């Protein structure tokens, strides 16, 4: 696992995204700063979506074993 993936925290990314939205909604950012904030927001959104997708896959693994909740090893796909 890469250092970047190890350091990712869904909760931190979500908080950062919320702060970006508040800053952008305030109307106090320049056009260039707004574009940078938007770009950062898109990246954070993608990271959060990936984390949620992986969590969903893990839940599916737990629920699909003959209708019983049986833990299965989860192998993370890398892009």
Which domains occur in the chain, in start order? 8-63 (1.10.287.1040)
Task: Give tens-digit pLDDT for 23-57.
Answer: 999 999 999 999 999 999 999 999 999 999 998 88
- The verdict on pTM exceeding 0.75 is no
Read out DSSP for the chain?
--HHHHH--HHHHHHHHHHHHHHHHHT-S-HHHHHHHHHHHHHHHHHHHHHHHHHHHHHHHHH-BTTB-----------
Q: Mean of the pLDDT values across residues 52-67?
A: 81
């Amino acid at each position: 696992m890469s250092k970047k993936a190890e350091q990712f925290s869904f909760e931190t990314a979500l908080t950062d995204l919320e702060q970006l939205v508040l800053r952008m909604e305030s109307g106090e950012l320049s056009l260039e700063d707004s574009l940078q904030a938007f770009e950062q927001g898109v990246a954070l959104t993608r990271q959060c979506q990936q984390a949620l997708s992986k969590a969903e896959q893990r839940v599916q693994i737990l629920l699909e074993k003959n209708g019983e909740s049986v833990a299965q090893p989860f192998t993370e796909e890398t892009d």
